[in-house]
Amino acid sequence: MNEIIEAQHEAIKEVMQVKEVVEHFERLQKKGRNWRCKCPLHNENTPSFVISPTRNIYTCFGGCGSGDAIKFLMHHLKIDYIQAMKWLGDFYHMPVDETTPRTYTRPTIAKRAPAAIPPVQYIPKDIFNKTLTGYADNNFVKFLLTLFEPRVIESLLEKYYIGTSRHYPGAVVFWQIDELFNIRYGKVMGYNPETGKRIKQPFEQINTICGAILKKCLQTQQEAPEWVVKYEAQDTKPQCLFGLHLISEDLNKPIAIVESEKTALVGSIFAPDFIWLATGAKGYEKYNRQGGINEVPELLKAKFRQLAGRKVILFPDLGAVEDWQELAKHLQDIAAVTVSDLLSTIAATYQLPAKSDLCDFLTSVPARRELIETYKDALRDQAPQTTAEGWVIWEYFRDRGLRDCDRIQAHKEIIESGYFNNQSIRSNAER
């Protein structure tokens, strides 16, 4: 090989970074000190391609092995070594040719010094921890007790870190926690303990955790904590999707996204095959009848970037399918986003009122009735059962939303039907 070109190759090798090269082709996700994505070299559902910036190599745990930027280009673009080096030369503005001096180094490009970016101010963990109590007075928890058994609710509170606030009587705190467990945002809301509807009269009971603290400081004539001042001084609050901290619990699970935190919680019980997240608001600009959403704000896109490479299903409220379909178009470069029209399809059958959400459907009388019938079918299929086996069936359905009163009703209906009086069942049970 020409000595000049060989020297140029060595100069390129000194500056090339495998992360920069892979990032040119794939969207990467931060994981600790490393980065990961689905392997570009073979088809896979679970991200197994890990990049180590400190070692400057990639490793595919799905069987493609390890290598540097050169090996990646050779495999990904199906080119040879010389072509890979030419590609890198163009990428790093270090062209490979015989007229370039062998002492060639990467040119210095004059750039304007970037403005100093202050570190993001998150909410302190001690503020967050103080809210994880007082559930006996939490009206949202009282509402959940009308839907599920206490053990199920305890798991919800622990899983989503639901908090309690005294800002409004019996208020709930929905925390937005990212995948690195930074406490990004806290929403304080008042709920009716019987209906589960938000309190909007005589005024709407909604505030941020910082807003609640500032109001208390104003009332007591105390100085606001320094962290609150810094947090509120940020041009944009570091919000994320509600439930984002759960996305790594199972990389094979699809992501279900709804509007309200309440719906995400209820959905996680009735349909545990999804990881349930919430936008905490509409999540999109109001649909413009003259041309749709022209551009989704970058702040909104930033909320979805942590879902890169995942299968995402949006479940809009009744009547909002078109808006969310428009949103999905602008998110396709991030993840495989689809929009479910489930509520539109079943609205008439289940007599859902306008603007119903998935929670309204899942907790409706007809949906409850279907759950009871499914439980009854499971009991019949397993009959005869020992007491222990029957208890296992009940626990399974309890964790998926069946209440104890539903269980009692199901048993009563089976007994009244005379199903367990069948002679063959009795004889099998005796054996």
Backbone angles phi, psi at 8, to 5 degrees: -65, -40
Residue 168 pLDDT > 60, yes or no?
yes
pLDDT-derived band of residue 105, with 50, 70 and 90 as boundaries?
very low
Q: What is the pLDDT of residue 7?
A: 81
The percentage of the chain sitting over the pLDDT mark of 70, rounded to a whole number, equals: 86
55: its two tokens: 């070692």
- pLDDT per residue over 71-86, tens digit each? 999 988 888 888 888 8
Q: What is the pLDDT of residue 407?
A: 92
Residue 93 pLDDT > 60, yes or no?
yes
Cβ within 8 Å of residue 162, ≥6 positions away: 132, 138, 140, 141, 156, 172, 173, 174, 175, 265
Once rounded to an integer, what is the mean pLDDT over residues 140-150? 97
How would CATH label the architecture of 3-91?
Alpha-Beta Complex (3.90)
Q: Write down the pTM of the prediction.
A: 0.70
Q: What is the pLDDT of residue 429?
A: 38
Of 1-5, 400-404, 416-420, the one with minimum mean pLDDT is: 1-5
Give the C-alpha separation, 350 to 354, whole Å: 12
Residue 406: name the closest of 195, 147, 153 by CA. 147
Domain positions in the chain are 3-91, 125-233, 244-357, 365-430
Residue 368 pLDDT > 90, yes or no?
yes
- pLDDT per residue over 209-233, tens digit each? 999 999 999 999 999 999 999 999 9
Residue 287 pLDDT > 50, yes or no?
no
pLDDT mean across residues, the chain: 85
